[in-house]
Amino acid sequence: MVEIDENLIGKDVLEMAFDRCIKCSTCKYSYKDFEKSCPSGEKFLFESYWASGRIRIIRGVLNGDLEWTKDLIDPIFACTTCGACMDSCQAPHADYIVEMIEALRELAVKNIGSAENQKFLVTRCEESCNPYGEPNSDNVELKKEYTLPDKAEWIYFIGCTSNYRQKSIRDSTLRFLKKTGIDFTLIDEHCCTSPMIRTGQLSIVDEYMKYNIEQIKNAGATKVITSCAGCYKTLTKDFERFGNDSEFEIYHSLELVKKLLDEKKIEFKSEYNKTVTYHDPCHLGRHMGIYELPREIYRQIPGLNLVEMKRNRNFAWCCGAGGGVKIGYPDWALEISKERLEEAKETGATVITSTCPFCKTNLSDASVHYNIDFQVLDLMEILDQIDINVLS
């Protein structure tokens, strides 16, 4: 057996590959329902593209039975890390399968590199502090526009996708926070590091985590809100996993909305007379266990008719953007999203909504690419279109 580097972040989960998976194939389909659930396996139809196959790859490279070659790149990186395999698996390692795949990618990056174009996630961050390569926004102008203080109880951690691509989500969230009287401000963010963690490229992860923590502390904040499911998972789970426990309270924007509703501090007044279906983001659903909270909010919006897709909650089909697939396998990412949009159409909805800017991006791109003509909106964008009374 090849000795596992003690410095590998994923060392402990890699060791699980040796005595847990028996290749029962439960990971290939929704448990007890037998609906297809794995975008990678369904696309490529080789064992190495399913979770069980990737665990075998781990065994092979660590045992020295499998040579590191470029032929391993697609089986290792052509995976959205959506977590459907974790939900279906009945073995003791079920909750760690995605971490095992991320650890395998960490090994692969050291030995054969990443998938095509994924390296840009790091090089762009090194140049611009965000994976899109856009000039870094220190958010100073936004602070001026919304008259925000230098110090506050809350930080709105915008996230790269909302700040550089889905600005409507950012602006809707900013308007909601101002309208409801939350004491918040913004910081000069660096990428939360989720894209690098998902693709096994960890060279700047620790530095960026520490930077963001320091910025939040300097603002005197104790609570952080984000409208991005990827940022939410990273700030909540990965910071601690990488030894950077921030001790802040982390909220997804929908958690704050629900909190304000439950405390009767806000109420929805005007109607949103559309039929809407909700897409569960993988990072919020299977990775964080948040399924009912968004649905409870949508059901409180007057006039909104919420309908469910056949595959929903823990059985939801991935949007196709995660795990580095959007940048590494862009055409396939759209194919995955097309299947989700077609499923949404079957509900009779005219709007597909989610709580993740990355999901919105890929679903919107697929809707345009395949001429499906679906309106794709984030929860915060819908709330921005209705009247909200602030009660106290």
The answer on pLDDT for 7 being more than 90 is no
Fold agreement between 11-111 and 266-390: no
> In the chain, what percentage of residues exceed pLDDT 90?
89
What integer pLDDT is reported at residue 30 of this predicted model?
86
| Cβ atoms of residues 51 and 24 within 8 Å | no
The answer on pLDDT for 17 being more than 90 is no
120-259 carries CATH number 1.20.1050.140:
yes
Q: What is the mean pLDDT of the chain?
A: 95
- CB atoms closer than 10 angstroms to residue 67: 11
**Which stretches of 64-159 are DSSP H helices?**
73-77, 84-88, 97-111, 120-128, 140-145
Pairing between strand 305-307 and 375-378? unpaired
Among residues 217, 148, 222, 207, the alpha carbon closest in space to that of 178 is found at 148
Q: What is the pLDDT of residues 351-369, one digit of tens each?
A: 999 999 999 999 999 999 9
| Cβ atoms of residues 268 and 284 within 8 Å | no
What integer pLDDT is reported at residue 239 of this predicted model?
97
What integer pLDDT is reported at residue 2 of this predicted model?
56
11-111 carries CATH number 1.10.1060.10:
yes
- Rounded-to-integer distance, Cα 58 and Cα 64, Å: 10
What integer pLDDT is reported at residue 118 of this predicted model?
97
Residue 88 in tokens = 């279906």
The answer on pLDDT for 8 being more than 80 is no
Q: How confident is the model at residue 246 (pLDDT cuts 50, 70, 90)?
A: confident
What integer pLDDT is reported at residue 140 of this predicted model?
97
- 190 phi/psi in degrees, rounded to 5: -105, 160
Q: How confident is the model at residue 20 (pLDDT cuts 50, 70, 90)?
A: confident
Q: What is the pLDDT of residues 167-219, one digit of tens each?
A: 999 999 999 999 999 999 999 999 999 999 999 999 999 999 999 999 999 99
- Rounded-to-integer distance, Cα 170 and Cα 185, Å: 13
> In the chain, what percentage of residues exceed pLDDT 70?
97
- Rounded-to-integer distance, Cα 123 and Cα 357, Å: 22
- Rounded-to-integer distance, Cα 372 and Cα 223, Å: 40
Contacts of 335 (CB under 8 A, 6+ apart): 43, 320
Q: What integer is the mean pLDDT of 339-361? A: 98
DSSP state, residue 270: S
Return the amino acid letter for 364. S
For the chain, the maximum distance between any two Cα atoms, rounded to a whole number of angstroms, is: 65
Residue 132, exposed/middle/buried by CB under 10 A (0-12, 13-18, 19+)?
middle
Q: What is the pLDDT of residues 285-325, one digit of tens each?
A: 999 999 999 999 999 999 999 999 999 999 999 999 999 99
Residue 144, exposed/middle/buried by CB under 10 A (0-12, 13-18, 19+)?
exposed
Q: What is the pLDDT of residues 80-134, one digit of tens each?
A: 999 999 999 988 889 999 999 999 999 999 999 999 999 999 999 999 999 999 9
pTM: 0.96
Q: What integer is the mean pLDDT of 265-285? A: 98
- CB atoms closer than 10 angstroms to residue 43: 15
Among residues 193, 243, 187, the alpha carbon closest in space to that of 220 is found at 187
Ordered by start, the domain boundaries in the chain are 11-111, 120-259, 266-390
What integer pLDDT is reported at residue 1 of this predicted model?
52
What integer pLDDT is reported at residue 6 of this predicted model?
65
Pick the CATH number of 266-390 from 3.40.50, 2.60.40, 1.10.10, 1.20.140: 3.40.50
- Distances from the Cα of 134 to the Cα of 130, 191, 228, angstroms: 7, 12, 18
- Distances from the Cα of 20 to the Cα of 28, 91, 96, angstroms: 16, 7, 11
